Structure 1
Amino acid sequence: MVMIRVRSRDGVERVSIDNPNITIGELKTLIESELHVPVPNQTLSLHQNLLLAKSPSDRSQFTDLSNPEIRISSLKIGHGSLVYLSYDGERDIVTSSPRPTITPAGSFGRKMTMDDLIAKQMRVTRQENPHCELVSFDRDAANAFQRYVNDTLAFAVKRGGFMYGTVSEEGKVEVDFIYEPPQLGQEENLVLMRDAEEEKRVDAIAMGLGMRRVGFIFTQAVGQNQKDYTMSYLEVAQAVELHAESGLDQWVTALVKLQVNDDGVADVHFEAFQMSDMCVRLFKEDWFDFQAAKDLDPKVSRMKKDVVVGGKDVQEVDNDFFLVVVKIFDHQGPLSSTFPIENRNFPVTTKAVKTHLERTKSLSFVKRISDFHLLLTLARFLDLNADVPALTACVLSQTAVPEGYQLLIESIANAGV
């Protein structure tokens, strides 16, 4: 028996399934049967922001669980997974029966609930080995990210981005470009204001280049350097949510900060981690109490129930227990990072395309467009199903760009002049 947790505006409920390989359509039918929400009224997603959608048009953007033919196992939905449900109308809330109480031998009559027994089995220990062998950063991409934070933001506020690249069969992660979504950075908190349409363009470019999203990178503000932690509970909350969303075992979380060296000079320092399997499990099973953690020491995370750490029942866990160190290397990837980067202080216009093409006119045309950030700007004017795959195929193989596409790109460049 497999249990899927369903979170809606009414709280968290559970649906039991006999076959872990059912389709999305069959899962919706079970939700209708057990939770009394008609299938036509349901919108399902693995993204929590679905619950913030106010209108049908807002909900229509959440399409990850819209295909009724896809099997849930292919989406890493299994026992204990959390699925978000939004629906129209009203319904009768399904109330679950109370947890049975059990009196274990030797307890002298003390009753223990099933939740107590589950908590006793939830032991948080350090995970020694990551799922990825190492992470290697493209030098230009990493430098473009940290240079902006250092030179423009002075590490006063946080900044983040999604890392894209490849994962080898041996678990080696190579990061070849960093996409920076719309965001609001503060000293302690980083709010990602994700743009679904822009992310579709990013993913289409990545797919054409034989890449995928492989991790999350963020900076720590200088004010955080005075605090005794590797990652705060807010950073753990964001990192584990994105890790769980990815469904990728080798997903990497990287942080960038200023660190004073032996000579008293502040150097930019990169660190890389994976969130531990236990951390991801606790998140998926809704054990974290991030709201209650606001008044706590930032180096610990609060649990909703006791877990076992070092043989003791606790509700506060040092965040370091959730971090698995990943070795860092660097490489020179196939893309340049000289084009203006999206979602920074000023919008990137087609005038930047013209400037870039003029500056690189000594190179072959395919070399001139071998920059992710340029391709992302061009993709706003191109067909994602035809033009983007054709151009990225040229970039991937470094073959000549057809004359028609060259003329199209040049017309885009001249459109804003």
Structure 2
Amino acid sequence: MVMLRVRSRDGVERLSIDNPNITIGELKTLIESQLHVPVSNQVLSLQQNLLLAKTPADRSRFLDMANPQTPISSLKIGHGSLIFLSYDGEREIVAPTRRPSITPAGSFGKKMTMDDLIAKQMRVTRQESPNCALVSFDRDAANAFQHYVNETLAFAVKRGGIMYGTVSDEGKVEVDFIYEPPQLGQEESLVLMRDSGEENIVDAIATGLGMRKVGFIFTQAVGQDKKDYTMSHLEVAQAIELHAEGGLKEWVTALVKIKVNDGGGADVHFEAFQMSDMSIRLFKEGWFEFERKEGEEVDPKVSLMKKDVVVGGKDVKEVDNDFFLVVVKIFDHQGPLSSTFPIENRVVPVTTKAVKTHLDRTKSLPFVKRISDFHLLLTLARFLDLKADIPALTECVHSQSTVPEGYQLLIESIANAGV
């Protein structure tokens, strides 16, 4: 007897097969009989991204298990292998057999507490559509973020940032700059050591530019590439917490990672998601179990709940992370700001000498263009008044109007102070 694991939007289920040399067509017949998904409605793959494909056109790209005549053994599918299944519509899910409970004599059964009743009603399902129409990244800002991770950190450790931009009435999110707070990145985890003083300045600059926080961006380390998840439980927890804090229904979580291309080389790949409305509700109501006991074995592709929730008709405390991810379409644009000034909180500290270098390099441009860079404005803000100077300068940048001569002289003096 060979046991396969089948992972769908309903979680992981087991499939028993007698012959390890059956074909994919025969495997689909077994899935229909045991898991109640019609053969005509099945799309199978060994690639987990199948579960993120929302349309028939998206699913049609997964061809590794499309030929019904292919023996599963030729794909190295054997005992314990994990197969991904996508299907449309609903199905009957057979819950695993449980031992019958024994009711004491003279009792009508166990009383259910209010918590039990609430848990029975907490159903975790997939959210089919995001709350934002799309996300568009400023090309220079996105490139400056990934280039540092690629060239300096070699994707060996994680890196993160807070995305700022605008949200249109139609729900289109535009990311125009990325603020990188002080942080500690390791292969599996990312700690943002957020400085409230610096972040208040960032928010003030953003407000003056007509922008606000719109999302969170982070990288996955190259060592995570072979892991069996889209986002780990640590990444999901961090993304949900920041989404909830952001208080924006269109909030976007962006993931940057290395993917092997058809030629065997490596490409930097951006993906965008929203954390589902249900995940934010679960977080705010305290359902997630983020604490782990020392030495406890953790499956990174699932998130733990403090109480049972209902997933696919089953009561579970482990929820597949993909249930909380809603895919968002990605576009790019050329925003109003440049991203050529050195970026904060990286390996090399940013000094006023960088201000002079930047101004000298851009001296052929109008002064307002020369200072239209968020990272430059953040460095200048250390020498300016938060309530008077920053709003005045950012208004000039926002409207692309002439910078008063007094501010030009002040900025040039700051630049020359580091020489």
CA distance in 2 between partners of 1:312 and 1:109 (Å): 21
Q: Which residue matches 1:82?
A: none
Deviations 1:237-283 (A, max 9, x none): 10000000011000000000001112211100000000001100111
Deviations 1:54-74 (A, max 9, x none): xxxxxxxxxxxxxxxxxxxxx
Q: Which residue matches 1:400?
A: 402
CA distance in 1 between partners of 2:338 and 2:418 (Å): 24
**Residue 374 in structure 1 maps to residue 376 in structure 2:** yes
Q: Structure 2-normalised TM-score?
A: 0.73
Q: Which residue matches 1:30?
A: none
Alignment of 1:206-355 (within 5 A): 206-292=206-292, 295-355=297-357
CA distance in 2 between partners of 1:285 and 1:271 (Å): 28
SS in 2 for 1:223: helix
Q: Which residue matches 1:356?
A: 358
Q: Which residue matches 1:165?
A: 165
SS in 2 for 1:392: helix
> Percent of aligned positions with the same letter in both sequences?
85
SS in 2 for 1:229: coil
TM-align CA RMSD: 1.2
Q: Which residue matches 1:121?
A: 121
CA distance in 2 between partners of 1:230 and 1:126 (Å): 15
Task: Output the amino acid matched with 1:182.
Answer: P
SS in 2 for 1:216: strand
Structure 2 spans left out of the alignment, 5+ residues: 1-102
Q: Which residue matches 1:185?
A: 185
CA distance in 2 between partners of 1:190 and 1:411 (Å): 38
Q: Which residue matches 2:96?
A: none
Task: Output the amino acid matched with 2:191.
Answer: V
CA distance in 1 between partners of 2:243 and 2:289 (Å): 18
Q: Which residue matches 1:386?
A: 388
SS in 2 for 1:239: helix
SS in 2 for 1:257: strand
Alignment of 1:101-180 (within 5 A): 108-180=108-180
CA distance in 1 between partners of 2:203 and 2:275 (Å): 23
How many residues are matched?
A: 312
Q: Which residue matches 2:33?
A: none
SS in 1 for 2:170: coil
CA distance in 2 between partners of 1:115 and 1:166 (Å): 40
Task: Output the amino acid matched with 2:301.
Answer: K
Q: Which residue matches 1:411?
A: 413
Structure showing greater Rg: 2
CA distance in 2 between partners of 1:398 and 1:112 (Å): 64
Deviations 1:159-218 (A, max 9, x none): 000000000010000000000000000000000000011001100100000000000000
Q: Which residue matches 2:49?
A: none
> Displacement, 1:295?
2.4
SS in 1 for 2:383: coil
Task: Output the amino acid matched with 2:147.
Answer: R
Deviations 1:342-371 (A, max 9, x none): 000011110000010001111110000000
> Displacement, 1:114?
1.0
Task: Output the amino acid matched with 1:334.
Answer: P
CA distance in 2 between partners of 1:187 and 1:295 (Å): 18
SS in 1 for 2:308: strand
Structure 1 spans left out of the alignment, 5+ residues: 1-102
CA distance in 2 between partners of 1:305 and 1:109 (Å): 21
Deviations 1:312-351 (A, max 9, x none): 0000000000000000000000000000000000111100
After TM superposition, the runs of 4+ consecutive aligned structure 1 residues lying more than 4 A away are none
Task: Output the amino acid matched with 1:193.
Answer: M
Task: Output the amino acid matched with 2:385.
Answer: D
Q: Contact 1:366–1:394 at 8 Å: present in 2 too?
A: yes
Q: Structure 1-normalised TM-score?
A: 0.74
CA distance in 2 between partners of 1:304 and 1:262 (Å): 43
SS in 2 for 1:264: coil
CA distance in 2 between partners of 1:304 and 1:338 (Å): 46
SS in 1 for 2:225: helix
Q: Contact 1:292–1:302 at 8 Å: present in 2 too?
A: no
Q: Which residue matches 1:201?
A: 201
Q: Contact 1:159–1:190 at 8 Å: present in 2 too?
A: yes
